[in-house]
Structure 1
Amino acid sequence: MNRVKLLICFVCAIILSSCLSQNKKINGASFVAYGIPVDETHTKPLVTKINANFAAVMPFGFIRGLNSPEIIHNTERQWFGETRAGAKQYSEELRKQNIKIMVKPQIWIRRGEFTGFLNMTSEEDWRKLEESYTSFILEYADLAQEINAEILCIGTELENFIAKRPDYWNNLIDEIKKIYKGKLTYAANWDEYKRTPFWNKLDFIGIDAYFPVSDEQTPSFEKSMEGWQKHKPVIKSYSDTYQKPILFTEYGYRSVDYSGKEPWKFDRSMTKVNLEAQVNTTKALYETFWHEDWFAGGFIWKWFINYDKVGGKDNNQFTPQNKPVEPIIKNYYSSY
């Protein structure tokens, strides 16, 4: 009888473990690069305030304009956190809090031009851009392998570059895999992912999830839930087609009026703080996706290192820090 009971307990433990593993999500935050190294005072709030288990570390490359082929990266003129050394130090400190790492190299085009519009005017410049991007991304593929990062994001919102040079991107992914042996994704813009041609070569379908969900000045939770119903089935269909989990490489809402209408907008005319709007839209996103087994999780945009000095009730930006939405995030991150 004791052996039978032991067997039953063993089987139950396996079933429970399986259920827990299915429920466990990538509960991430986009960890903003600064000009200084970080320590426990900067990394611990990710755990104590929102119970994050992942962070996106974001080194940067810079381009002078939409038609410029040169990516400037890993130089002494950049902020520490934007360089290879900084990304490594940030990752090592985050690890001390048992936080896993996605290395997510980003490009900044002068004057904040949208990276999706990057476009060369000659074959020569396209080839120069390809050489420059290869140097940039392989630098951080090597870093990701060195620090055993769990995920590497191979690019962010580069639709035109990908559309115009598909062979280059397929070959680039093969080169990345020679260096980095972990999981790969790409961060497609919310209206781009349906045209991304290489999902079959990656481990996650990555989406920067700034989908419009409500035209209301203060989006209600109910209307925001309704707004997701036109997007969710399409998103799931891509998971089904490619047999890959969906990962929100970025997601989040500003604490402003009409935050669910065009969530991608960083418009300086949008200044009126609306904390309830941020709460309702964020909660609707969690209720829509976080319980789905085909959904891997995501990275809230964005988390600053000096916790006590950012966010707050007068802040109208994306960060959830020191706002009513913060305990909402912690609740869902703790549940999955």
Structure 2
Amino acid sequence: MNAFKCLIFLLLLFFQSCSSQIEKIKGVSFVASRESITNDHTSPLVDINANYAAVMPFGFIRDLSHPEIVFNTNRQWFGETEAGVKQYSKALSVQHIKIMLKPQIWVWHGLFTGHIAMKDEKSWKQLEDSYSKFILSYAELAKQINADIFCIGTELEQFIMNRPDYWKRLILEIKKRYDGKLTYAANWDEFKRVPFWGDMDYIGVDAYFPVSDSRTPTLEACLVGWKKHKSEISTLSSQYDKPVLFTEFGYRSVDYAAKEPWKSDRGMTQVNLAGQRNATQALFEAFWQEDWFAGGFVWKWHHNHETAGGNENTQFTPQNKPVEALIKSYFSKS
């Protein structure tokens, strides 16, 4: 009888352990398009075992020192607007895909958002007012569409470093409008300096860390390249007792894909599918089994799957490339 009770106790512990495991966020960054989406556009996400999509409306700034954000206009693509967010989120939800709403800023000519900085106090106040209108309107929309995660900003280092008090106040206002999970998408070289991780549910990182200088990075070389970065990420997670979410991750299918993974240089034209696959596999092997790692969002996924990507494509998308099967395999795991 005692042996029987012991067996039952061990079985209960086993099933409790299994049920307590939190499923990883297996997401894609779903690119906004000119048109609405249908099941034909969302079913490929189911095919790769994705359970999340980042829906990304955009606001636009004329230059790095301009304080006005223009957003939700008739001149934007449908997917970049509030109406597009509602339609995309509804179509994705039909496929049981959860939503991270991730409003982003685009600076004219593609200048880096981390360098947005104003020249005087008046302009900083104008930027704060403009950003508040932008992000709070989407916080309210995140509540309306029942988004599981809301990302309060993406790669805005100078704005945050120069105006930390504003961001503290802004987070309080966001929480009045949206009661779901919050994150911020810090650039890979910014995440250690973000002052408000304690107010977030996830430490968000756009994971474009350099991990190999090779033309075709090997799995082994990339794993070695990850060691220092992984240690720093893990340490920050422990410091704040927060899980880490890769708000963006991915590699271009080009030579030297893991050397400076953030580069979108049009001069990089030599297709290298093996490099993309090896670097992606290393990221999964380094992080996917860590309890403190919540998962992440592949950069990036286009709605027109049948014609997206392909073996001659040099861009980030994994669609119709060897790396897509790799992602599907890892996304099949918990």
TM-score bin (small chain)? over 0.9
Asked if 1:51 corresponds to 2:49, the answer is yes
Report % sequence identity.
Answer: 61
Inter-CA distance 138–159: structure 2 relative to 1 (3 Å threshold): same
Write the distance in 1 (CA, Å) between the matches of 2:53 and 2:296: 10
Q: Matches of residues 111-190 of structure 1 in structure 2 within 5 Å?
A: 111-190=109-188
Write the distance in 1 (CA, Å) between the matches of 2:53 and 2:16: 24
Which residue does the alignment assign to 2:105? 107
**1:212 Cα shift?**
0.3
Asked if 1:202 corresponds to 2:226, the answer is no
**1:16 Cα shift?**
3.0
Q: What are the superposed Cα offsets for residues 58-108 of structure 1, whole Å, 9 maximum, x if unpaired?
A: 000000111110000111111110001101110111011111110000000
Write the distance in 1 (CA, Å) between the matches of 2:6 and 2:134: 53
**1:17 Cα shift?**
4.8
**1:169 Cα shift?**
0.2
**1:332 Cα shift?**
0.5
Which residue does the alignment assign to 1:19? 18
1:322 pairs, out of 308, 320, 323, with 320
**1:233 Cα shift?**
0.6
**1:5 Cα shift?**
6.7
User: Which amino acid counterpart does residue 150 of structure 1 have in structure 2?
Assistant: D
Write the distance in 1 (CA, Å) between the matches of 2:135 and 2:9: 46
Q: Matches of residues 1-336 of structure 1 in structure 2 within 5 Å?
A: 12=11, 15-19=14-18, 21-22=20-21, 24-48=23-47, 50-336=48-334
User: Which amino acid counterpart does residue 90 of structure 1 have in structure 2?
Assistant: Y
SS in 2 for 1:30: strand
Write the distance in 2 (CA, Å) between the matches of 1:328 and 1:92: 28
Q: Please tell me whether the aligned partners of residues 23 and 291 of structure 1 are also in contact (alpha carbons under 8 angstroms).
A: no
User: Which amino acid counterpart does residue 31 of structure 2 have in structure 1?
Assistant: V
SS in 2 for 1:94: helix
Inter-CA distance 21–78: structure 2 relative to 1 (3 Å threshold): farther
User: Which amino acid counterpart does residue 24 of structure 2 have in structure 1?
Assistant: K
Q: Please tell me whether the aligned partners of residues 273 and 316 of structure 1 are also in contact (alpha carbons under 8 angstroms).
A: yes
**1:24 Cα shift?**
1.7
SS in 2 for 1:335: coil
Write the distance in 1 (CA, Å) between the matches of 2:214 and 2:133: 45
User: Which amino acid counterpart does residue 311 of structure 2 have in structure 1?
Assistant: K
Q: What are the superposed Cα offsets for residues 200-219 of structure 1, whole Å, 9 maximum, x if unpaired?
A: 01100000000000000000
Write the distance in 2 (CA, Å) between the matches of 1:41 and 1:11: 46
Write the distance in 1 (CA, Å) between the matches of 2:73 and 2:6: 60
What is the root-mean-square deviation in Å for CA atoms of aligned residues?
1.7
Write the distance in 2 (CA, Å) between the matches of 1:229 and 1:331: 23
Inter-CA distance 95–217: structure 2 relative to 1 (3 Å threshold): same
Q: How many residues align?
A: 334
**1:6 Cα shift?**
9.6
**1:20 Cα shift?**
5.1
